[in-house]
Amino acid sequence: MPSTKILILYTGGTIGMGHETPGDSGSPLIPQGWEFLQKAMPTLSADGFFTKEKGIEFTYKSFDDVIDSSEFTPNHWAQISEIVFENYDLYDGFIIIHGTDTMAYTASALSFSLQNLGKPVIITGSQLPIFHPRTDAISNLSNAIHIAAAKVFNLPVIPEVLICFNDKLLRGNRSTKSSSKDFSGFESPSFPEVGSLEQSIQISDKYTLEPPTEPFNIKPNFETNIIIITLFPGFNSDILSRLAADKKLKGVILRTFGSGNAPSSETFIKALKLLVDNAKTVLNISQCQEGFVNMKKYKTGTNLYNCGVISGADMTLEAATAKMMWLLGNKSETHINELFSKNLKGELSLL
């Protein structure tokens, strides 16, 4: 029987939440330690199905202080990247147990920081805590194990960061949280599902990344001096002008209308040009979940293009945020605009 080694990293999140006052269902949910989670899932034990029947060897690591995912920062992304790097040669796959609120941000960030990734890094969690009688935690974690330990189950080894949730396998940097109450939790609005984990597991090889040809390494630097601006009717352009004067600010993500459209007023265009002239990287993504930014389609979009605004194509907000932070943290200014337009880790489609 083939055997495989999997590293499971527990960071916190709803999956491992328990009541602050044990036995009091009215007390707030707070993160619990790994032992709380492991006790609720006996299949992870040495006598459980995965180890006894499939020969999978698990190693468990945990953040020293497990957290709600709303507390995540780029420092945590760097910490995860370092853990994967230090253990890369020892394991066949990695599972990151994570809260759902910022899961898509972490998945996107890791897709950029983990360079030349040749093994599956699966991120999962749950909408209900593992102690809940209707929890989705057990099936999500079981599915993640199947993908991380692919060779044991005669499945393709997928060399990328993925979100495994509610019987769906999604490219990490194409995912977005779509619901806080539905078990589906996540969607991939502009890219097909990589796999379906129903009674039989189906992987769509044509949608997965090619194995790397260079050695694995990490680049876990992220620039946090960016801001996200959502346009709305009546938006005050003076806000952009004031941002242009902020010497610490490095980048602006502009969430525009439709296929990348924005007001064409003189004050708005002047403010945009001021941002670009002051060396701020300005990225245009749509407020629509589905669709493609094409700044050459309408005059209102062409105005942005002529100002030096970069197209975000069909990137999700999470992927655009992570990509901007990563590029600004790792690349020289002369290459950033060019790299934004390139599909680096499967995060965008090209026209």
pLDDT (tens digit per residue) in 183-228: 888 999 999 999 999 999 999 999 999 999 999 999 999 999 999 9
- In this prediction, residues 29-53 reach a mean pLDDT of 84
* CB of 260 closer than 8 Å to CB of 301: yes
Taking only the tens place, the pLDDT of each residue in 93-102 is 999 999 999 9
Kindly state the tokens that stand for 18: 């328990």
Residues paired with residue 5 on neighbouring β-strands, in sequence order? 57
pLDDT of residue 302: 87
Count how many Cα atoms sit within 13 Å of the Cα of residue 159 in the half-sphere of its side chain: 14
Which CATH code fits 226-340? 3.40.50.40
CA distance from start to end of the chain: 46
Residues whose CB falls within 8 Å of the CB of residue 288, separated by 6 or more in sequence, listed in order: 258
Residues paired with residue 310 on neighbouring β-strands, in sequence order? 283
- Give the CATH fold of the 4-218 domain: Rossmann fold (3.40.50)
Considering the candidates 14, 106, 135, 300, report the single residue annotated as catalytic: 14
Task: Write down the pTM of the prediction.
Answer: 0.95
- Spatial separation of the C-alpha atoms in residues 90 and 74, rounded to whole Å: 25
- Are the folds of 4-218 and 226-340 the same? yes
Ranges of each domain in the chain: 4-218, 226-340
Taking only the tens place, the pLDDT of each residue in 116-151 is 999 999 999 999 988 888 999 999 999 999 999 999
Kindly state the tokens that stand for 51: 């180890």
Is 14 among the catalytic positions? yes
CA 91 to chain centre: 22
Per-residue DSSP letter, 46: T
Residues whose CB falls within 8 Å of the CB of residue 245, separated by 6 or more in sequence, listed in order: 278
pLDDT of residue 334: 67
Phi, psi for 61 (deg, rounded to 5): -130, 160
